[in-house]
Structure 1
Amino acid sequence: MIRVIYEWQVKRENLQEFSEAWEQTTVLVREMYQGAFGSTLLQDGLKVDHLLTIARWSSEEDWRNFWSSDNPPEVTKMSKLGNLVSIKIYEELGNHISK
């Protein structure tokens, strides 16, 4: 399992629309692409225009297959609403979620 962390800069006036595009994208990607397990959207408490989206994939190969495909228009919409600063891939070594 991997986590892919996308760092974004999004103008305040685009935050709501970006959030909606992220949600639509996440739903579509989970439905359409093998190995996609959803995403989390985080906002910096001090710099509200700084966002992270953290996607969970079964493997780097599945994630790369997604990026080499014709992506849904919502992915493009996110890129028009915000500036993608960086992408980092992390191997998930553990995961514990409390109830």
Structure 2
Amino acid sequence: MIQVVYEWSVAPENVIEFREAWDHTTTIVRETYPGAHGSCLLEDKKQGAHMLTIARWNSEEEWRDFWTSDNPPEVMRMSQIANLVSVKVYRETGNHMS
């Protein structure tokens, strides 16, 4: 299992639209792509326009296959609304979440 952390900079006036795009995108990706287990959206408590999206995948190969496929337009919409600052892939080595 891996988790992919996307760091975003979102203009304050686009925060609501970004949240909606993330929600819609996450639903489509989880329902459509093998290995996708959804994601969470984190908003910096002090800087509301700084956000993280953390996607959970079975493997790095399945995540990379997703990015080489024809992605739903919603994925591109997130990039139009906000600036993607960084992407980091982490191997999950423990989990106490339900």
TM value normalised by structure 1: 0.97
> Deviating runs (4+, > 4 A) in structure 1?
none
Equivalence map 1:15-94=2 (5 Å): 15-94=15-94
SS of structure 2 residue aligned to 1:97: coil
Shift of 1:67: 0.2
Question: Deviations for 1:46-95, whole angstroms, at most 9, x for unmatched residues?
Answer: 11110000000000000000000010000010000000000000000010
Q: In 1, distance between residues paired with 2:66 and 2:97?
A: 27
User: What percentage of residue pairs aligned between the two structures are identical?
Assistant: 62
Q: C-alpha offsets along residues 4-31 of structure 1, whole Å, 9 cap, x if unaligned?
A: 0000000011000000000000000011
> What residue ranges of structure 2 are gaps of 5+ in the alignment?
none
Q: Number of aligned pairs?
A: 98
Segments of 5+ residues of structure 1 without an aligned counterpart are none
CA RMSD of aligned residues (A): 0.8
